[in-house]
Amino acid sequence: MEINTNNAEIMLSAVSKAQYPQDDMPEIALAGRSNVGKSSFINTLLGRKNLARTSSKPGKTQQLNFYNIDDKLRFVDVPGYGYAKVSKTERAKWGKMIEEYLTSRDNLRAVVSLVDMRHDPSADDIQMYEFLKYYEIPVIIVATKADKIPRGKWNKHESAIKKKLDFDKSDKFVVFSSETRHGFDQAWEAILDEI
Ligand SMILES: Nc1nc2c(ncn2[C@@H]2O[C@H](COP(=O)(O)OP(=O)(O)OP(=O)(O)O)[C@@H](O)[C@H]2O)c(=O)[nH]1
Ligand SMILES: [Mg+2]
């Protein structure tokens, strides 16, 4: 499929089902801990600096943000989990919003689940992966911030992440960096494979 990635724009932000776009365009959602680099991943894949708002402060993205890419697919930027400074009520609202989207959205083709390549996956990362497996939602694991680890240690980190997640070999795993654009082709290939 030919996609003009320059032709991308934010379409809408939503907090509930009634606000989701009403059509059958395929969607790829981005999930991961707050600050892991979801918005940066979107910007890198679209060759844009600031289409998806990024921040060194966690918790920047608080709604489901739908990005229209050349009228061929959508990225859905999902608020990050595991941000300590939110109230219990906020967290419960977040959980409900994500769960509603992930379990009921017919447009959803796959979830790109981002983990920080430097560290073992958190309990929340593991829970997200188990959740996606349980609902049989195709998942692409993107291990990001690879630029922060020496290349000679990449294999060791990849193995550790896979082991912790109990990674299913039929899923895709992409080593990625928004800094160097490492993994750009592989990430696009994995995504286009699912839509
Ligand atoms: N070195 C490096 N920094 C990165 C990379 N990806 C993201 N960052 C930085 O990490 C911080 C958080 O990135 P975001 O893309 O805003 O993270 P997010 O997952 O969208 O965060 P929330 O919206 O809070 O959930 C920013 O300061 C980015 O510049 C990467 O691959 N390498
Ligand atoms: Mg974000």
Q: Which ligand is nearest to the CA of 42?
A: 1
What proportion of the chain, given as a percentage, has pLDDT over 90? Answer: 80
Measuring from atom 11 of ligand 1, which residue has the nearest CA?
56
Residues 111, 125: Cα–Cα separation, whole Å: 13
Average pLDDT score over residue span 146-163: 98
Single-letter residue type at 44: T
Q: What is the pLDDT of residues 81-102, one digit of tens each?
A: 877 677 888 888 888 999 999 9
Q: Is the per-residue pLDDT at 61 higher than 70?
A: no
Residue 122's pLDDT band, with cuts at 50, 70 and 90, is very high
Look at 131 and 52; give whichever has higher pLDDT: 131
**DSSP 8-class letter at 17:** G
How confident is the prediction for the chain on average, in pLDDT? Answer: 93
Q: CA distances (Å), 91 to each of 20, 59, 101, 129, 142, in order?
A: 21, 11, 15, 19, 24
Q: Is the per-residue pLDDT at 58 higher than 80?
A: no
Least reliable range by pLDDT among 44-53, 108-117, 123-132: 44-53
Residue 60's pLDDT band, with cuts at 50, 70 and 90, is low
Residues 116, 177: Cα–Cα separation, whole Å: 10
Q: Which ligand is nearest to the CA of 36?
A: 1
The pLDDT value recorded for residue 157 is 98
Expressed in angstroms and rounded, the spacing between residue 55 Cα and the centre of ligand 2 is 7
Q: Is the per-residue pLDDT at 150 higher than 90?
A: yes
Expressed in angstroms and rounded, the spacing between residue 83 Cα and the centre of ligand 2 is 12
Q: Is the per-residue pLDDT at 158 higher than 90?
A: yes
What proportion of the chain, given as a percentage, has pLDDT over 70? Answer: 97
Residue 59's pLDDT band, with cuts at 50, 70 and 90, is low
The pLDDT value recorded for residue 57 is 73
Which ligand 1 atom sits closest to the C-alpha of 40? 15
Q: Which residues form the pocket of ligand 1, taking CB atoms under 6 Å from any ligand atom?
A: 32, 34-40, 54-56, 58-61, 79-80, 144-145, 147-148, 177-179
Expressed in angstroms and rounded, the spacing between residue 42 Cα and the centre of ligand 2 is 9
Expressed in angstroms and rounded, the spacing between residue 52 Cα and the centre of ligand 2 is 7
